[in-house]
Amino acid sequence: MRILRIIPLILVTMTALGCAGSFKPTLNFNPSEPIRIAVLPFGQVDERGRFVEVDESLLLDNISLVSAKLKQTPAQFIQGLVQTELSKASLDVIPPALVDAELIHAGYGVAGTNPVKMDLAKVFAADAGTLCSKILSCDAVLYGRITSWDRSYYGVQAVATVGIQLQLISARTKKVLYEIDARDSDSRGITKGPTGLSNIVLEPLKGLDNEIITDLARHVVDKSIDPLSNDSRPEFLTTNAPFILASAHDAASGTLAGNKILTVVAFGSPGTTASFSLGTTSQGIPMLERAPGHYIGEFVPLPSDSFKNQSVTVTLKDSFGRATSQRIATTPVSLR
């Protein structure tokens, strides 16, 4: 009858493991202001704040009749939830695929990985002003850390804990516009209804019903983004801001000789006003849309022109005045 003596101890333990949410938001700007933000790739950290590689056995649950497969890491899953909730706020959010593409284009990927993995340490160490002015064309960047993604099984009780930290940093002032440290727990079993597993002699499970923790994650994200919500979204936020997928120029050596023309091409949002700039030498050189989303422009130097190591930057602007710029990553251009 030893097992009967163990059960009361488990029940006492479960009593202490109820929901105990902690949400500490700090808001330092008016969320009705439609600033443009870039959500950087989220990362999962340990208790010391170091980024960790996630054990895939914690992600792909496959317990018959109990668990559904979760095909994303916790960081990817929670970032998706945050993106969805932010779409309801009065914030102009850059599409995540564009953010990832631009970061990889700018060298924030891990060399030699296929598909390319993001270098999270490098991303989180990057300055918000640099990211927005040179890579992502934004007003602020959102950093997200998963501080807890824990699941435990106690034979008669399943307990899940989710913790996240969000920080929105202004690109212009470098100040924290919004931050929150959120954490909550939930349980199922003796105190919350059946777990779906009745054999209390099973060893603790690494894989626990994903529905418990994913539901909890949705709750934590909803509470975390709620201070940014606004019911009066501007009309233009029903559409995505302009994006640039690729851009290039034909000065492969970096030097324009004599009267050689510099040709610049870009591929991105169709139906926008496109232009490019040549450092501080020439600004707003128009580009023509030859096909939907395909733009081309030319710089014709004058006999008196002379410059050295000027970067080329392409800009697309929509009818609402939202602009996206991309500096071409190839060699700067000089005219001799």
Residue range 76-111, pLDDT digits in tens: 889 999 998 988 787 888 888 889 988 988 889 888
Residue with tokens 């593409």: 101
pLDDT at 109: 87
Q: Coil, helix or strand for 85?
A: helix
Separation CA 217–CA 211 (nearest Å): 10
Torsion of CA 283, 288, 291, 294, to 10 degrees: -10
CB atoms within 10 A of CB 175: 12
For residue 222, what pLDDT is reported?
92
pLDDT tens figures, 187-201:
765 444 444 444 443
Q: What is the rounded distance in angstroms from the CA atom of residue 279 to the CA atom of residue 15?
A: 65
Rounded distance between C-alpha atoms, residue 210 and residue 207, angstroms: 8
Helix (DSSP H) and strand (DSSP E) numbers for the chain: 6, 17
Q: Which of 208, 163, 200 is nearest to 23 (CA)?
A: 163
Exposed/middle/buried for residue 311 (C-beta within 10 Å: 0-12, 13-18, 19+): middle
pLDDT digits (tens, 9 = 90+) for 268-317: 889 999 999 988 888 899 999 999 999 999 998 887 788 888 889 999 98
Q: What does DSSP assign to residue 204? A: P
pLDDT at 12 over 50: no
Segment 33-44 mean pLDDT: 89
Residue by residue, DSSP assigns 245-311 as EEEEES-TTSEE-TTPPEEEEEEE-TT-EEEEEETTTEEEEEEEEEETTEEEEEE---TT--EEEE-
Average pLDDT, the chain: 79
CA distance 336 to 329: 21
Burial class (CB in 10 A: 0-12, 13-18, 19+), 307: middle
Cα–Cα distances (Å) from 174 to 128, 132, 235, 242, 325, in that order, read: 7, 11, 28, 24, 20
Pair 295, 266: CB distance under 8 Å: yes
Q: What are phi and psi of 319, to 5 degrees?
A: -70, -15
Within 8 A by CB and 6+ apart from 100, the residues are 41, 118
CA dist 196 and 66 (Å) reads 6
Closest to 184 in 3D by CA, of 224, 152, 134: 224
pLDDT of residue 286: 94
Residues facing residue 333 across a β-bridge: 310
Mean pLDDT of 5-14: 41
pLDDT of residue 180: 94
Provide the phi-psi class of 73: left if phi over 0, else alpha when psi is between -120 and 50, else beta: beta
pLDDT at site 95: 86
Report the distance separating Cα 266 and Cα 271, nearest Å. Answer: 13
Report pLDDT digits (tens) over 231-273. 655 555 567 778 888 888 988 888 887 678 889 999 988 999 9
